[in-house]
């Protein structure tokens, strides 16, 4: 009975359904990564273009508004001045040096072959967009939430934990609002302080014992 055509077909179609579901999730993640990398590149171009006219105080604001109007006319929603400002901030908070550091940490062999100079060439000159897709695995909405985290270490912590734990944006928001990073840091510091206190107590106790033994010997 276990090898009946019906049961065999059920396994067969179930396997295909699982495959398609996995592919759909992967496609969604890939699409999110491409979108995030695109916004980072837009932010980079805004920053670099602004640097040319930075002597004018209102240049940046005027550029964002003009670009917003042009992109909205061409592609529709999603390119408001607020959104473009977020893309600019995204690039500033995740600069190329951040990507280089990530690349050197995750690819020690690449770093060993030519140091950060070789990595920079790989990231910046050779298919930089395709490379950046790998470096921004979270959805854009997650990075938008991370933009509000002012502490750089906390921001990196939440990014890492969201990726490691598979947090949704809602979960990420909840963890940030609950000051998960601060509580974790405090917990680690408290544990370190307790350990240090225990070590100091032990040393003090040993010194007392040694002093007592010395006094008895005399």
Alpha carbon distance 176, 6 (integer Å): 50
Q: Where on the phi/psi map is residue 127: left (φ > 0), alpha (ψ -120 to 50), or beta?
A: left
Choose one of 54, 77, 94: the last residue of a domain.
94
Across 7-21, 71-85, 94-108, the highest mean pLDDT is recorded for 71-85
Choose one of 54, 76, 94: the last residue of a domain.
94
| Beta strand residue intervals within the chain, DSSP E | none
Alpha carbon distance 115, 101 (integer Å): 11
- Does residue 40 form part of some domain? yes
* Predicted pLDDT at 119: 39
Domain, as residue range, for 77:
1-94
- Does residue 164 form part of some domain? no
Distances (CA, A) of 101 to 12, 96, 128, 147: 45, 9, 15, 19
Residue range 140-160: mean pLDDT, rounded: 94
Lowest mean per-residue pLDDT among 34-48, 83-97, 102-116, 199-213: 102-116
Helix axes 128-135, 96-106, angle to 10 degrees: 70
- Does residue 121 form part of some domain? no
* Predicted pLDDT at 208: 54
- Does residue 29 form part of some domain? yes
- Does residue 134 form part of some domain? no
- Does residue 90 form part of some domain? yes
Choose one of 94, 118, 138: the last residue of a domain.
94
- Does residue 79 form part of some domain? yes
Tell me how many domains the chain contains. 2
């Amino acid at each position: 009975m276990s090898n009946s055509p019906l049961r065999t077909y059920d396994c067969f179609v179930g396997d295909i359904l699982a495959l398609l579901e996995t592919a759909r999730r992967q496609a969604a993640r890939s699409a999110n990564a491409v979108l995030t990398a695109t916004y980072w590149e837009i932010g980079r171009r805004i920053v670099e273009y602004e640097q040319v006219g930075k002597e004018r105080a209102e240049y940046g604001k005027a550029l964002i508004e003009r670009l917003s109007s042009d992109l909205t006319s061409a592609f529709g929603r999603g390119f408001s001045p607020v959104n473009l400002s977020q893309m600019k901030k995204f690039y500033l908070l995740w600069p190329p040096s951040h990507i280089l550091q990530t690349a050197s940490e995750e690819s020690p062999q690449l770093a060993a072959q030519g140091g950060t100079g070789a990595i920079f060439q790989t990231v910046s000159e050779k298919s930089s967009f395709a490379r950046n897709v790998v470096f921004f695995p979270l959805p854009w909405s997650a990075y938008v939430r991370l933009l509000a985290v002012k502490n750089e270490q906390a921001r990196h912590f939440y990014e890492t934990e969201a990726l490691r734990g598979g947090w949704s944006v809602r979960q990420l928001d909840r963890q940030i609002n609950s000051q998960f990073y601060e509580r974790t840091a405090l917990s680690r510091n408290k544990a370190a302080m307790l350990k240090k206190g225990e070590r100091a107590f032990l040393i003090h106790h040993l010194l007392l014992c040694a002093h007592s033994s010395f006094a008895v010997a005399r």
